[in-house]
Amino acid sequence: MNKKLSPANIVILAAGAVMLIASFLSFYELSILGHGVSFTAWSGADGFGIFGVATVVVLCGVVMAAQVGVDTFAAGVDIPDKPLGLTWDQVHLALGFQATFMMIAFLIRSNGPLDFGIGFWLMLLSSIALLVGAIMRTNEAGSKPRAV
């Protein structure tokens, strides 16, 4: 039987989905003489280090959402209770922190001629939501024991 999603897991699942979709929208935009070019988290940007680096943020969100999705909806699938000795709450906290930290670093970084696109802003918001969801999970676990 499928488990019921807790509020924290709903936040993580939604934020992870938004993160994945946003990664295919424009991260940076460049306008030259009225002609616009956009770069996604997967396409790279000729030396601005998006593909590979911003993709780490996307993967953090996808892993978090996938764990919640599999644990909740795929009853037959066994996932380890404590990967590398960490509880899943700790894994979520670490990945949520990493995603937010990296997106804030992108926000602070000097962009030169590039402007932030809608994909960047959605990724920034969803990374913060992932961290909030991870903190909520930890607080939920504090009030009642949880295996995953």
**Residue ranges binding other proteins (CB under 8 A):** 44-53, 55-56, 59, 84-86, 89-90, 93-94, 98, 101-102, 105-106, 108-112, 138
Q: Exposed, middle or buried, 147 (CB in 10 Å: 0-12/13-18/19+)?
A: exposed
Q: How far is the CB of 85 from other proteins (least distance, A)?
A: 3
Cβ nearer to other proteins, comparing 14 with 87: 87
Cβ nearer to other proteins, comparing 15 with 141: 141
State the DSSP H helix or E strand holding residue 69, giving kind and residue range, or none if neither: helix 53-73
Q: Which two tokens stand for residue 24?
A: 């295919």
Q: Compute the C-alpha angle 35/41/44, nearest 5°.
A: 65
Cβ nearer to other proteins, comparing 72 with 138: 138
Cβ nearer to other proteins, comparing 71 with 89: 89
Q: Which two tokens stand for residue 27?
A: 């991260």
**Contact assessment for residue 61 and residue 22, using Cβ atoms and an 8 Å cutoff:** no
Place of tokens 């795929």: 74
Q: How far is the CB of 73 from other proteins (least distance, A)?
A: 26
Q: How far is the CB of 20 from other proteins (least distance, A)?
A: 17
Q: How far is the CB of 75 from other proteins (least distance, A)?
A: 27
**Contact assessment for residue 70 and residue 77, using Cβ atoms and an 8 Å cutoff:** yes
